[in-house]
Structure 1
Amino acid sequence: MSAASAPAAPPLGKYLASSEKKTRDKAVKSLAAFLSNHDSENVLPDLEMAKLWKGIFYCFWMSDKPLVQQALAGELAELILTITDVPSSLNFLRGFWMMTVREWNGIDRLRMDKYYMLVRKFVNASFRLLVRTKWDSAAVQEYNSILSGPNGPLCPNDIRVPTSLAFHLSEIYLEELDKALTSSESPPPAPLSTLLSPFITLAARTPTNTTYKHIQSSLFEPLGDVLKSSSGPPSRKKARTSSPDYSQLLVNTCTSSPGGDGAMDAGAVRSSIFQKIFDVASETETRDANRRRMYAFYKDAVEDDEDSAG
């Protein structure tokens, strides 16, 4: 569809949520055409964005075959990259997360796996968007605020946010970042310490013990082990039977700004991440029980590095 014939408004939710697959497919294509001509001068009001995402949510809800679901999840996630204006892309992404948090507890057990897949696709597309901006600091900061702010999946002080969303994100986050780097041509180094900030803040401030434990065991510990094994002798304290393979991430990461000296040594990245965990643990907003756990985690990592060096 040409720019001249692109729709002036997004397709109505009733078409996106139609029981007819052909109608839904046509509505998604119409939405892609609309968004491809969307920019910061033409931002959808919050109410319209909420209505649009309600329609998209039920469009995906109605997809009922694995291959159809997978294709649609990918097509919906690609909408983030269809928008040519980065602030508008991030605004659209904010709508996705607000919808996901709002509707998550209403998803039945039989549909949950496909929504986990949808989340995974959106995480991957979000990273590819940030790669396209060359990890622009303002874009990364806005992305982190979408995750950690009100109605975000990693918001630490909103009990309405489902804990299973944070669990899922902590399990897939680095894997999808590694995939995004692998699929991009000559990507700038990923600012890993900055990208982990929402999880470190959630670990510090969550009132739920299981959330803290899951973030540490599924994200911080595996990442620390991988960075350790690639920069020196394996840990003497912990011998994991299986570690994730973040091959692209290990050779193309930095701490906070890709505009510095480029990719950094894995050992330096590991040190910077543990230092950030220590620094956030020291903040006044950190819950006392979490502070003790974070200090202990940091202390174990430093001692392990010292043992290996010795």
Structure 2
Amino acid sequence: MASNWRLRHGRLIRKLMMTSAPPFAKHLASNDKKTRDKAVKSLATFLAMDERDPISKPDMDKLWKGIFYCFWMSDKPLVQQALAADLAELLLTTSSTTSALSFLSGFWEAIVREWNGIDRLRLDKYYMLVRRFINATFRLLAGADWAEDVCNTYNKMLTREGGPLCPNDQRVPSGLAYHLADIYLEELDKAVAATEPPPLPAPLSTLLSPFISLAAQTPTSITYKRIQSEVFSPLLEALAADDAPPAKKRRLDPDYAALLANACFDQPSTGKLDPTTLRQKLLRRIFDVASEPETRDSSRRKMYALFRQSTGEED
């Protein structure tokens, strides 16, 4: 598989050399590290320009092919970590939120398109790249005061056809959705903690909407199980920690302290909610989505069971 991948990317490099994308794009795919480093710096300058025409969809695709291969070529852990951080930070240095979302959309399209071709030895570094982009995205949303239109644009990016959390597109690799479930709350907590000055309360119902939709509509029981075990249950347990006995509190890990100290349901402007109220509202949201006609029967049963177990209601 790796040899076929190299052949395919060799053809990609030749195409990039002839592209009409930003002139530094072809240098991102250079075999020379110094050339690639200069290209990343040029990319940062280009994206930060206040006055430029939006990057067209074809050119954005070509640009991201170059960026993807640039990261592919990074072969030392410290180099990989630095490059992943630099690429993710580009979201926060673009000229506008609209431009940042366009760049982010290109990232997700590239990741989904290329994921199944990533060999085992390189997979961990792409997990790291996704983690860095998730964190930077949350800081971008926080900087935009969690504006509803910005959050909705991002959510659609994740759940649309070809998106990493699309429930009905068999081309989307399930491993990518599992990784997002594993890291989502952790990176949201980190982003809230790192944002200065402190952002408006994070709207958990809005931010978790892609996972609630995926849980309701996935045809795969493993995917539902991963979402419940890594997203729903840890968050609900953390929100219930204030009412837990001291011994159980000590066992709660992680506790998402920064997030829960500054979170709301769906309207940041109304201020943060206490954990107990927020937990009740999130459980009601899960129940309501379970009740929708498009929710799969198997998921409906599991979501109802989660609601009953979490609220102490009987069948």
| Aligned partner letter, 2:312 | E
- Counterparts of 2:65 and 2:157, CA distance in 1: 18
- Counterparts of 1:210 and 1:22, CA distance in 2: 43
- How far off is 1:10 after superposition? 2.3
| Aligned partner letter, 2:153 | E
**Count, aligned residues:** 294
- How far off is 1:128 after superposition? 0.5
- How far off is 1:234 after superposition? 5.0
Describe the superposition over 1:219-278 as per-residue Cα deviations: whole angstroms up to 9, x where unpaired: 100111110013x12599x99955213110111000001011x11100111111111111
Match of 1:220 in 2: 232
Query: Contact (CA 8 Å) 1:228, 1:235: kept in 2 or not?
Result: no
Query: Contact (CA 8 Å) 1:12, 1:55: kept in 2 or not?
Result: no
Describe the superposition over 1:137-166 as per-residue Cα deviations: whole angstroms up to 9, x where unpaired: 110111111111122110111011111111
- Counterparts of 1:223 and 1:233, CA distance in 2: 14
- How far off is 1:109 after superposition? 0.5
Q: Does 1:31 align with 2:43?
A: yes
- How far off is 1:12 after superposition? 4.3
- Counterparts of 1:114 and 1:234, CA distance in 2: 40
Q: Does 1:293 align with 2:305?
A: no
- Counterparts of 2:280 and 2:75, CA distance in 1: 46
| Aligned partner letter, 1:281 | A
Match of 1:3 in 2: none
Q: Equivalent of 1:167, from 156, 169, 178?
A: 178
- The secondary structure found in structure 1 opposite 2:277 is helix
- Counterparts of 1:225 and 1:289, CA distance in 2: 23
- Counterparts of 1:11 and 1:36, CA distance in 2: 16
Query: Contact (CA 8 Å) 1:277, 1:294: kept in 2 or not?
Result: yes
Unmatched 5+ residue regions in structure 1? 1-7
- Counterparts of 2:289 and 2:54, CA distance in 1: 35
Moved over 3 A (4+): 238-242
TM-score by length of 2: 0.89
- The secondary structure found in structure 2 opposite 1:170 is helix
| C-alpha spacing 1:150/1:235, structure 2 compared with 1 (3 Å) | farther
Match of 1:143 in 2: 154
Match of 2:62 in 1: 51
- How far off is 1:9 after superposition? 5.9
- How far off is 1:285 after superposition? 1.3
Unmatched 5+ residue regions in structure 2? 1-19
| C-alpha spacing 1:240/1:233, structure 2 compared with 1 (3 Å) | closer
- Counterparts of 1:210 and 1:86, CA distance in 2: 35
Match of 1:124 in 2: 135
| C-alpha spacing 1:192/1:110, structure 2 compared with 1 (3 Å) | same
Q: Does 1:251 align with 2:261?
A: yes
- Counterparts of 2:120 and 2:50, CA distance in 1: 35
TM-score by length of 1: 0.90
- The secondary structure found in structure 1 opposite 2:312 is helix
- How far off is 1:284 after superposition? 1.4
Q: Does 1:188 align with 2:188?
A: no
| Root mean square deviation of aligned Cα | 2.0
- Counterparts of 1:50 and 1:234, CA distance in 2: 52
- Counterparts of 1:227 and 1:291, CA distance in 2: 23
